[in-house]
Amino acid sequence: MVLSLVVLASFESSLGSTLSLPARLIDEPETIIDSENGESQPSAVKEDTAPQSQADSLAVGHMEAADVVAETAKQPQKISKFDNLMKRVGAEMGYDWRFMSAIAYCESRFKEGLVSKRGATGLMQVMPIVARHFKVPVSQIHNTETNVRLACKLLNESEQRLGFPENISERDRLCIILASYNAGLGHVMDARRLAKADGANPNSWSVVSKYLQLKADPAYYTRSEVKAGRFSGSKETLGFVKLAMSKYDEYCEIAW
């Protein structure tokens, strides 16, 4: 369609002068020839379909972009540069690699060279006493694979000594194991013994966490069921378990 620039003006009758108005673009009508008298007549202005075409193109573009996003969301995502190590060691030791990754996140934020004030070392913050317990030279806990393997061995031994029944829920099992990893097996076993003595469920994390907190109270840590003494670190342990399980849930959603 041909466009022409038309300047609109209105004339003032008394002065004979003109007042110019802003120019604007308008469609120039096409002409047709009247077959009877030969005179040319303006044809109907054709509707411009370009805007609709552009809208259709944009809509298609958005749909294609949405398809790409949806397809990308279906792909597993990387958790850390240690994914392959976690998968290999986790499979050998019987633990979900994403669970191991969640522990590594909580302990070190995936920093291999991290050493705490208490001497906990590496990705999984393994203590020297753990290396000695499993007859591994303490110097080896700086090696990342050894560090992860020792953490898995500690988890596995703790689980065996806790003696969970077959009907324990998976979440309760993992939470209690995590608490043992953070607080020490002795304090968790004390909490379970106290719970059982009071008629509560020693296989429920909500119950065990309650008794871990009560172990700061002399009315509880002086009882005969307690073997590991007073425990004042329940806030840290409960926070650790909560964060680790939250990260584990997150990792299960994005990686497989």
Better-scored residue on pLDDT, 8 or 99: 99
Q: What is the pLDDT of residue 30?
A: 46
pLDDT surpasses 70 at 35:
no
Pairwise pLDDT comparison (45 vs 235), residue with the higher score: 235
User: Which pLDDT score, from 0 to 100, does residue 115 have?
Assistant: 97
> Which residue, chain included where needed, has tokens 């303490």?
138
Question: CA-CA distance, 130 to 118, in Å (whole number)?
Answer: 13
Catalytic residue (choose from 107, 112, 157, 250): 107
What is the average pLDDT across 115-129? 97
Question: Do residues 4 and 28 make contact, with C-beta atoms less than 8 angstroms apart?
Answer: yes
Domains and CATH numbers, the chain: 83-254 (1.10.530.10)
- Inform me whether the pLDDT recorded for 38 exceeds 80: no
**How far apart are the C-alpha atoms of 149 and 89, rounded to whole Å?**
7
What pLDDT does 147 receive?
A: 98
Which H or E element spans position 27? strand 24-27
Give the least confident one: 13-27, 38-52, 193-207, 208-222. 13-27
Tell me the mean pLDDT in the region 208-231: 98
159-173, pLDDT tens digit by residue? 999 999 999 999 999
Q: Which residue type sits at 42?
A: P
Span 48-67, pLDDT tens digits: 545 566 666 666 666 666 66
Q: Are 23 and 7 in contact (CB under 8 A)?
A: yes
Q: Is the pLDDT of residue 94 over 60?
A: yes
Residue 121 reports pLDDT greater than 50? yes
Confidence at residue 131, expressed as pLDDT on a 0 to 100 scale: 98
Short-list 190, 242, 196, CA closest to 217? 190
Distance from C-alpha of 31 to C-alpha of 43, rounded to nearest angstrom: 5
Average pLDDT, the chain: 83
42 phi, psi to nearest 5 deg: -70, 140
The residue length of the chain stands at 256
Please give the pLDDT value at position 191. 98
At 10 the pLDDT is 40
Mean pLDDT of 120-143: 97
Q: What is the pLDDT of residue 67?
A: 62
Residue 107 annotated to the active site: yes
